[in-house]
A and B are shown apart, each in its own frame.
Chain A
Amino acid sequence: MAHFFYVHHAFPTYFKNTFEGHTATQLQKGVNRDDMRPAEVAIGAPKRLGNTSVATYHGPSFMIDDLIYHYEHGDTRTVLINCHYPIDENSFMLLYGISMQRPEVEDDDPAAAEALAAKMVATVRLGFEQDVEIWKNKTRIDNPLLCEEDGPVYQLRRWYEQFYVDVADVRPEMTERFEFELDTTRPIEAWKREVEENVARRAAEAAAAAVREPQDA
């Protein structure tokens, strides 16, 4: 979640990874941070309110990201396709493409629509290349000591391991469904209050039961 906050200047409200079979899906919903000058405004593109992204890897090297950007004037659907293949032990060739729903403009002017689309595609590129910059500067650690906020790194590797072995050697734990969810929409205080009430109620019930049924001496 810190990744979205610091790298993409977005405030995630919901995040979920689902690893299952040969697919790995990431659902992410976020709102933009009001305290940052948005990168898209700097290049003259419209300011975004937030986004909803459903990105799925189909196998080890091909991802389709259905990416909806929320603007004041409405939603814009984009599709980001990302694929990569290894070229040596420590690097890979990355290819990606972005398509976008034609934006609605005044008088339905094709040139204006084209210009706006170009700027909005540039916005998507900015977001993706923020990630690419990290990939250029990271390396694999085989046994990272992780804190809770690091997310399902081991589970992702367990899923990816299926692509390094023969099909006959794929084990159930590589393909069985695993879900990792972060939901910020349910207020924590409500959770806590409900738990405390239940614990107190059960303690009171246990005390009452103890009075009714004194243990045999």
Chain B
Amino acid sequence: MAVRPDNRLADAPMHPVTCSSCAAEVLVRKASWQQTSVQWSDEAMAACSSWSPGSAVKGLPPVCDRLRDSIARAVVDGTLPVVTPEYDD
């Protein structure tokens, strides 16, 4: 059975964001101020140079804090839209 496309992406697609500290380009979508989705490609995974353990909690997948900063900067610069900010009020 084929997996259907996500209806939410039709109105508000994911946006490319390039990390400011490496060449990794990922697709990002913020459904609200608090929510962030990141779609990596195998190329972006290979380009990322700063994987680090996300926390001391055992078993957690690695995270990239630099990409996290780049995404936050794209939001405050107004280049990455926040889909439904009114939900957070």
Q: Residues of A at under 8 Å CB distance from B? A: 18, 20, 23, 25, 27, 52, 54, 56, 64, 66, 68, 142-143, 145-149, 152, 154-155, 157-158, 161, 164, 172, 176-184, 186, 188, 191-192, 194-195, 198-199, 202
Q: Would you call B59 and A157 a contact (CB within 8 A)?
A: no
Closest chain A CB from B58 CB (angstroms): 5
Q: Would you call A148 and B38 a contact (CB within 8 A)?
A: no
Contact-residue bracket for chain B:
35 or more
Q: Would you call B31 and A188 a contact (CB within 8 A)?
A: no
Q: Would you call B38 and A179 a contact (CB within 8 A)?
A: yes
Q: Would you call B40 and A184 a contact (CB within 8 A)?
A: no
Quick one: which of B1-48 are within 8 Å of A by CB?
1, 3-8, 31-42, 45
Q: Would you call A194 and B7 a contact (CB within 8 A)?
A: no
Closest chain A CB from B54 CB (angstroms): 8
Scoring A146, A155, A191, A198 by chain B CB atoms within 10 A of each residue's CB, the highest score goes to A191
- Secondary structure of the A contact surface, majority rule: mixed
Closest residue of B by beta carbon distance from A55? B59
18 other A-B residue contacts (CB within 8 Å) besides A155-B6, A177-B45: A54-B58, A66-B59, A146-B8, A148-B31, A148-B32, A148-B87, A154-B4, A154-B6, A157-B3, A177-B39, A178-B37, A178-B40, A179-B38, A182-B35, A186-B33, A188-B88, A192-B33, A192-B85
